[in-house]
A = this chain, B = another copy of it.
Amino acid sequence: MVAKVAVEKLDTPCVLIDVAIVRRNIDRYQSYCTKAGLSLRPHIKTHKLEQIARWQQEAGAVGITCQKIGEAEVFAAAGFADILVTYNIVGPAKLARLVKLAGQVDNLAVVADSETVIAGLSAAFADAPKPLEVLVECDTGLERCGVQTPAEAARLAKLIAATDGLDFGGLMTYPPPGAIAEVEEFLVAAKAQCEQLGLSCRRVSSGNSPDMWNMAGQKAVTEVRPGTYVYNDRSMVAFGVCGRTDCAISVLATVVSTPAPGRAVIDAGSKVLTTDLLNQADYGGLFDYPQVRVAALSEEHGHLLFASNTAPFKVGARVRVLPNHACVVSNMLDSVYLLDRDGYAQQAPVIARGKVA
């Protein structure tokens, strides 16, 4: 049991996670998915914490989503038994780790968008005790990974189904925000073409956070994988998906300089907030000081601007910054603080931080 510390005693900069808001966000979206008949498989990239993944699972999540094997490995070691790795696994080192990981969990699945990736998975799993579930990744408009047409999805599905060591599980996409109709059209067609080949799509996995409230009733989709909803952030507020009071993550920082009228400097820079803009103006927003801009970041300094006839802060004042992008902030520090409503916080290690391989 980690000791609790009063938030006033925490040194800065540090990342605060409001537990009550997290749990409300989890419950609210789980209820939505349950009502819509959708499986919820949250992406752990937003929090990278064992405790929060456990809350998501206790609320009803069917499993977790990871992007890299390294993330899946730490969550498997923490006891999570149903993991989807939404990544093309390439190269002998990673394939060997994937085989080992498959032996450690109840259900492991990955994706593939090319014959080369399928051939690698097949060679690695040909002699494995049970086949590996593989979903075909579909590019439904994001222009990242994924097959380009429903016909190509069906062609790879057939190849997976016919390949020793592999089990065709269905389709997966990471949809571009705001393209619900186009995504649905692609997935419905791809599923139909698989079925014409006698291949059943056990699951069709989609979902992002910006469109999270528009997933009910989408044809074909059986599973959704949002990540950011658990914390929310400044970009989600801008998307209109949530309000500021639904944002669970903030960076606690100290004013270290008030060098000139209209300027102040805080001790949180890009090494905490990152330079991700996500189409926002500025590098974050201050809770309690809407008139102050986080106008620039150095690595260890945040540059605040405000009207030069005002003096909102003195050196030593503490401020809370709402980051533009929650997921990347979770990746910057080895631990965050889980803050309760009594003003006390508990340090929690970010177990999947920096697991890029």
Contact = CB atoms under 8 A, between A and B. Distances in A.
A331 B331 CA distance: 11
A315 B88 contact: yes
A258 B14 CA distance: 39
Please tell me how many copies of the chain the complex holds.
Answer: 2
A357 B271 CA distance: 10
Interface in A247-276: 254-260, 263, 265, 267-272, 274-276
Contacts of A334: 354
Given A256-B87, A314-B116, A356 B68 contact: no
| Interface majority SS (helix, strand, loop, mixed), chain A | loop
A9 B94 CA distance: 11
Given A143-B263, A259-B145, A328 B299 contact: yes
A285 interface: no
A300 B91 CA distance: 16
B271 A93 contact: no
Interface residues of A, number: 62
A12 B143 CA distance: 22
Nearest to A355: B271
A144 interface: yes
A301 interface: yes
A45 interface: yes
B354 A271 contact: yes
B257 A114 contact: yes
Contact of A116 (B9, B114, B316): B316
A93 B254 CA distance: 12
Contacts of A272: 356
A301 B9 CA distance: 38
Given A90-B315, A145-B259, A256-B87, A328 B45 contact: no
A117 interface: yes
Given A87-B267, A90-B254, A91-B254, 9 more contacts: A12-B357, A13-B357, A116-B314, A139-B260, A148-B259, A267-B357, A271-B328, A271-B354, A331-B332
14 contacts: A9-B93, A11-B94, A12-B91, A67-B299, A87-B267, A91-B316, A117-B315, A120-B316, A139-B259, A143-B263, A145-B265, A267-B357, A299-B328, A300-B356
Interface of A: 9, 11-14, 45, 67-68, 87-88, 90-91, 93-94, 113-114, 116-117, 120, 139, 143-148, 254-260, 263, 265, 267-272, 274-277, 298-301, 303, 314-316, 327-328, 331-334, 354, 356-357
